Structure 1
Amino acid sequence: MCTVVIRVPEPENPTVRILAVRDEDPHRPWRPLGPWWPERDGVRGVLDELAGGAWLAHDDRRLAVLLNRAGGSTVAVPTSRGSLVLDALAGHPLPNPLTTLGFNLVVADRSNVRITSWESGSPRTVDLAPGTHMVAHDDVDDLGTARVAAWLDAFAGAPTEGERWWVDWIDVLAHTTLVGATDDRAIIRDNRPHGFPTQTLLVCVASIGAEGVTAKMATLREPGRWNELAL
């Protein structure tokens, strides 16, 4: 139940801003943002040690991040979704047929942000218009998703300019924790009462612009529990 906030700029100032919050089982091994794929020159990302793919990764031109959603393949052993992130950076099309579970795949470069969604049938894509958007485990900007309905306007109203452009978004993120980690509106989450073993583990911020891609991350000291972030 990850969450991603995206600011798509107007054409005259083409710098995309992204805030990505990862929920995962704390017992599933992973590695922080780094160059874990030597066969993929210039790629840095958050590695899933079990399957070898990435939750979020980037090169010097684009960034991709994956969010789970319901549905997907009915094969006995679904393929890891993390490979989709690395393939997106390489410009590869989605596998056909898809053999993963359902997903929202966000792929951003300085000229476009596209979200590909799949839960069965044919994948659906949407190119985001200028403005601020949120996506979790349903469609982008879906006001039926409690956290999107609760916080989209707050993120939209926060500036993202300057060297430390993420500060106001992190302030909004800190404010969202007032509802508690098990609330449907929560972004920093503890999903165990909802029947999932996942908790929020880390936060990434990223910019995609004329000078390339920059990304930073911070890990929560305790899964699902907010603390001040050193980004």
Structure 2
Amino acid sequence: MCTVVIRVPEPDRGDVRILAVRDEDPGRPWLPLGAWWPEHPEVEGVMDQLAGGAWLAHDDRRLAVLLNRAGGTDLEVPTSRGSLVTGSLTGVPMPDPLTTLGFNLVEASAEGVRVTSWDGGTPRVTDLAPGTHMIAHEDVDDPRTARVAAWLDEFAATPTEGERWWEGWIDVLRGTTAVEAADDRAIVRDNRAHGFPTLSLLLAVASIGPGGVTAEMATLDEPGVWNEPKLP
């Protein structure tokens, strides 16, 4: 039940901005943003050590990040979704048929942002218009998603300019923690009350434009509990 906020600029008017919050089982091992794939030294990402894929990763031109959603394959042992992120960056076509559980895959470059959503049947691809967007476990900007309905307008109203462009969005994120971590509106989350073993573990910020990709991450000192992120 991760959350991603995306700002798509007007053509030739700046970089794509991304704020992503990762929810995962704290007991599932992972590695922080780094170059963990020797066969693809150009790729840096947050690696899932169990399956070898990534939650979020980038090269010098593109970034991809994955969010879970309901549905998907009915296979008893689904394929890991993390390979879709690394595959996006290394030119591996999306498998057909898909054998994972449901997902939203966000792919960003200087040319724009697209989201591939799959919960069974044919994947749906959405090219995002200029503006600010938000996605979690349902569709992009879906008003059925309580956190989108609660906070999208506030993120949209907050500038993302300057060297430390993310600071305004971090202020908004901090404000969202006024609701309890189990509240449907929460972005920094404790999902155990909803039947999932996942809590918010980290956040990442990224800028994608003609000059390349920059990405930084910070972990939460305690899963599901806000603390000031230690971003550079």
Q: Would you say the 8 A contact 1:201–1:223 is kept in 2?
A: yes
1:37, 1:94 → 2: CA distance?
Answer: 19
Distance 2:196 2:7 in 1: 29
Report % sequence identity. Answer: 73
Alpha-carbon deviation of 1:93? 2.0
In the alignment, which residue of structure 2 is the partner of 1:27? 27
Deviation of residue 230 (structure 1)? Answer: 1.2
Match of 1:104 in 2: 104
What letter matches 2:5 in structure 1? Answer: V
TM-score when normalising by structure 2: 0.99
- Residue aligned with 2:95, SS: coil
Deviation at 1:41, TM superposition (A): 2.4
Is residue 85 of structure 2 the alignment partner of residue 85 of structure 1?
yes
Deviations 1:158-186 (A, max 9, x none): 00000000000000000000011010000
Match of 1:163 in 2: 163
Q: Which runs of 5+ in 1 are unaligned?
A: none
Deviation track 1:37-73 (CA, whole Å, cap 9, x = no partner) reads 0101210000000000000000001000000000000
Corresponding position of 1:217: 217
Helix, strand or coil at the partner of 1:179: coil
Q: Which amino acid in structure 1 is aligned with residue 225 of structure 2?
A: R
Q: Secondary structure at the match of 1:168?
A: helix
Aligned to 2:38: 38
Give the AA of the match of 2:25: D
Structure 2 runs not aligned, ≥5 long: none
Distance 1:102 1:93 in 2: 17
Aligned residues, how many? 231
Alignment-derived partner of residue 144 in structure 1: 144
Cα drift, residue 14 of structure 1: 3.5
CA contact (8 A) 1:60 1:212 kept: yes
What's 1:115 paired with?
Answer: 115
Partner letter of residue 140 of structure 1?
A: V
Confirm whether residue 130 of structure 1 aligns to residue 130 of structure 2: yes
What letter corresponds to residue 10 of structure 2 in structure 1? Answer: E
Alpha-carbon offset, residue 92 of structure 1: 2.5
Matches within 5 A, 1:181-196: 181-196=181-196
State the superposition RMSD in angstroms. Answer: 0.6
For residues 106-130 of structure 1, what are the alpha-carbon distances to aligned partners after superposition, in whole Å with 9 as ceiling and x for unaligned?
A: 0000111000000000000000000
| Cross-structure match for 1:47 | 47
Deviates more, 1:58-67 or 1:84-93: 84-93
The one-letter code sitting in structure 1 at the alignment partner of 2:85 is V
> Which structure 1 residue ranges, 4+ long, deviate > 3 Å from structure 2?
none
Mapped to 2, the partners of 1:115 and 1:161 lie a distance apart of 24
Give me the whole-angstrom Cα distance separating, in 2, the residues matched to 1:75 and 1:144.
28
Distance 2:216 2:178 in 1: 24
Distance 2:70 2:230 in 1: 33
1:137 aligns to what SS in structure 2? coil
CA distance in 1, matches of 2:109, 2:14: 9
- Deviation (angstroms), 1:188: 0.1
